[in-house]
Amino acid sequence: MICPAKRELSGGSVLCNSGVKVGPLGFGAGMLGNVFSEIDENVAHDTLLAAARAGNSPIDTSPFYGAGLSELRVGRILRALTRDSLVISTKVGRVAEALRGAAIPSQEEVRNQFAKGLPHRLRFDYSFDGTMRSVEQSLLRLGTDYLDILLIHDVDVWTHGDDGFERRFSEAMNGSYRALERLRSEGVVKAIGVGINEAEICVRFAHAGDFDVMLLAGRYSLLEQPAALDFLPLALEKRIGVLLGGVFNSGILATGPIAGARYNYRPAPPSVLKKVTEMQAICEAHGVNLFEAALQFPLAHPAVSSLVLGAVSPQEVARNIEAVRVEIPRALWEDLKAAHLLERSAPTPA
CB atoms within 10 A of CB 295: 28
CB atoms within 10 A of CB 61: 30
Residue 284, amino acid: E
How far apart (Å, rounded) are the C-alpha atoms in residues 264 and 274? 16
213-217 and 5-7 beta bridge pairing: unpaired
Annotate the chain with three-state secondary structure: CCCCEEECCCCCEEEHHHCEEECCEEEECCHHHCECCCCCHHHHHHHHHHHHHCCCCCEECCCCHHHHHHHHHHHHHHCCCCHHHCCEEEEECEEEEECCCCCCCCCCCCCCCECCCCCEEEEECCCHHHHHHHHHHHHHHHCCCCEEEEEEECCCHHHHHHHHHHHHHHHHHHHHHHHHHHHHHHCCEEEEEEEECCHHHHHHHHHHCCCCEEEEECCCCCCCCHHHCCHHHHHHHHCCEEEEECCCHHHHHHHCCCCCCEECCEECCHHHHHHHHHHHHHHHHCCCCHHHHHHHHHHHCCCEEEEEEECCCHHHHHHHHHHHHCCCCHHHHHHHHHCCCCCCCCCCCC
Cβ within 8 Å of residue 181, ≥6 positions away: 192, 210
How far apart (Å, rounded) are the C-alpha atoms in residues 75 and 70? 9
Of these residues, 65, 177, 220, 263, which one is catalytic? 65
Cβ within 8 Å of residue 318, ≥6 positions away: 50, 54
> Is 146 known to be catalytic?
no
Residues annotated catalytic, as ranges: 65
